[in-house]
Amino acid sequence: MKKKLNCILLIDDDEATNFIHEMVIKKSGCAEKIMAVQSGYDALDYLTETKNGIYPQPDVIFLDINMPGMDGWEFLEAYEKLEDGQKGHIVVVMLTTSLNPDDEKKAQSLGLIKGFKNKPLKEEMIHDIVAEHFQHYL
């Protein structure tokens, strides 16, 4: 990989899972920055806050489905209502332990979701996502 992604956002209520996934992303060397949050609410706060007048606009969001408070589906509903400048050109990948085939069907029916993967995140998964959606980085 020649160029790194600007930022990857991890949304998972399990702190240990976020830690492990951060380590995998760091090992892959594909991102300048990794942001991990433990709820959909925290993710929305992150996406809508500016730093020097600029929204963070991560390149990839790895999103858990089953979270307390605001689950992955509710996050997506709120995310779709954000201003375009807050969303950027983001690739959203559901990263879950869900064995429910309806979850995968629902994810595939949403144009926003570009992948449905089972946890844990692996280096090969990251490289596949970059190869599929960020060819200009290779």
The average confidence (pLDDT) of the chain is 92
Considering the chain, what percentage of its residues have pLDDT values greater than 90?
78
Could you tell me the CA-to-CA distances from 72 to 38, 76, 123 in Å, in that order? Answer: 11, 6, 23
Q: Would you state the pLDDT for residue 2?
A: 65
Task: Identify the residue with better confidence: 100 or 38.
Answer: 38
- Asked if residues 30 and 126 have their Cβ atoms less than 8 Å apart, the reply is yes
Could you tell me the CA-to-CA distances from 57 to 42, 68, 114, 115 in Å, in that order? Answer: 14, 24, 16, 18
Rounded mean pLDDT, 81-105: 89
Q: Would you state the pLDDT for residue 137?
A: 63
DSSP letters, 106-131, are HHHH-TTEEEEEESSP-HHHHHHHHH
> Model-level pTM?
0.93
Q: Would you state the pLDDT for residue 113?
A: 92
Report whether pLDDT(1) > 50.
no
Res. 129 pLDDT band, cuts 50 70 90: very high
Q: Would you state the pLDDT for residue 86?
A: 93
Q: Would you state the pLDDT for residue 138?
A: 55
pLDDT tens by residue, 18-62: 999 999 999 999 999 999 999 999 999 999 999 999 999 999 999
**What is the dotted CATH code of the domain comprising 14-98+105-110?**
3.40.50.2300
Best CA proximity match to 92, nearest among 9, 4, 15, 17: 9
The domains of the chain are located at 14-98+105-110
